[in-house]
Structure 1
Amino acid sequence: MYAHVFDTSAGFCGIAWGEAGITGFCLPSSRAASAEAAIRRRAGAELAELPDSLGEVTEAVRRYFLGEQADFSAALLDLRAREPFFARVYAVVRTLRWGETTTYGEVAARLGVGPEAARDVGRAMGANPIPLLMPCHRVLGAGNRIGGFSAPGGAETKRRMLAIEGVQLDDLPRQSAFAF
């Protein structure tokens, strides 16, 4: 496993990969050292130069944080180590495009397991090792409420990411200052 830290307009991100694809991603941190520690802890990877094959992904991440529409659907993600149910959830969530949202219950219904499995969908989202590239931020709670978010900054980070995509939610008060 390998990892690389790169800068964006929102801060430093970390990406990890192996032979089968991207295995981890860390949302922006204000310091490169923090991003490095986070991606190494998350992926158990050693730092390396970014391979050319991931250059397009990191450029798309940079565009995303500039507010430009970015599509990560072609990125090769390696989710083999996840529970089979989680893999099914991720396959559905991966179809969500820029500015498109759904709910945990709707994902469960699309899987044919019914809305009672919404909590299990939430567990899968909370265990997502590749946030942004696997767009768990686009999955909302019942009634299109922001719901939880396991990344640093929690629900406010999720709200900020959705705002970048033009999605506005009013179920939580906005904080006056925010940094990824």
Structure 2
Amino acid sequence: MAHKTHYLIFETEAGPCGIAWSEAGVLRFQLPGESAETTRRLLLRHLPEAEPAEPPPAVAKAVAGAKRYFAGEAADFSDVPLDLAGQSVFFLKVYAAARRLHWGETTTYGTLARELGAGPEAAREVGQAMAKNPVALIIPCHRVLAAGGKVGGFSAPGGASSKLKMLALEGISLAAPEPAQQSFGF
């Protein structure tokens, strides 16, 4: 039986974010969007049955952390309970490894693959896990880079430009993405 899902749209200094949860934990996190309505639409695209609600304490703590994060303050999400039901065993391992990256730390897709004992050819699979990360920021996929310190992809609104902005909040400066990548703000 599926858990009932709830969500909250909340303001940060970077714009409105969204968070959805079940009894088991956070299911989805929507990075800042242009408007609360856009953020709500993007969040509910994946969880159309979710209903607005006041968050339980663990989710409220994640919301407070996100507000601090987008205000440029260090925030730690490593103890936020997650509901990652339906993810593959490999993706769960990738997500657990990425959660060990703290404020201001980065790694590469290849390094994460090697840490998981999967060899450098699995770097592409690590990238796929990051691209499908349902709880961006809480699982800090923005801290996982392509080889050579290149920004790599970012599937959130704003693409690589948003990834660079998030890293800049943490004091990490990288080269701007190639001009072919469009920027939509945060």
Q: TM-score, normalised by structure 2?
A: 0.91
Q: Does the Cα contact within 8 Å between 1:11 and 1:31 map onto a contact in 2?
A: yes
Cα distance per residue 1:92-134 (max 9 Å; x no partner): 0010000100000000000001001000000000010000000
Q: Does the Cα contact within 8 Å between 1:60 and 1:71 map onto a contact in 2?
A: yes
Structure 1 Cα separation of the partners of residues 163 and 185 of structure 2: 12
Residues 27-36 or 105-114, more deviating: 27-36
1:35 lines up with 2:43 in the alignment: no
- Could you tell me how far 1:47 is from its partner in structure 2? 1.8
Q: Does the Cα contact within 8 Å between 1:40 and 1:46 map onto a contact in 2?
A: no
Q: Indicate the SS of the match to 2:172.
A: coil
Q: Does the Cα contact within 8 Å between 1:23 and 1:129 map onto a contact in 2?
A: yes
Instruction: Extract unaligned runs of 5+ from structure 2.
Output: none
Match of residue 10 from structure 1: 14
Write out aligned runs for 1:45-84 (5 A). 45-84=50-89
Instruction: Extract unaligned runs of 5+ from structure 1.
Output: none
- Could you tell me how far 1:173 is from its partner in structure 2? 6.0
Residues 79-88 or 120-129, more deviating: 79-88
Equivalent in 101, 105, 112 of residue 106 of structure 2: 101
Match of residue 24 from structure 1: 28
Cα distance per residue 1:20-55 (max 9 Å; x no partner): 000000001121111111111123322222223321
Q: TM-score, normalised by structure 1?
A: 0.94
Poorly superposed stretches of 4+, deviation over 3 Å: none
Structure 2 Cα separation of the partners of residues 75 and 67 of structure 1: 19
Query: How much is the aligned-residue C-alpha RMSD, in angstroms?
Result: 1.7
Q: Does the Cα contact within 8 Å between 1:103 and 1:141 map onto a contact in 2?
A: yes
Residues 71-80 or 157-166, more deviating: 71-80
Structure 1 Cα separation of the partners of residues 46 and 162 of structure 2: 18
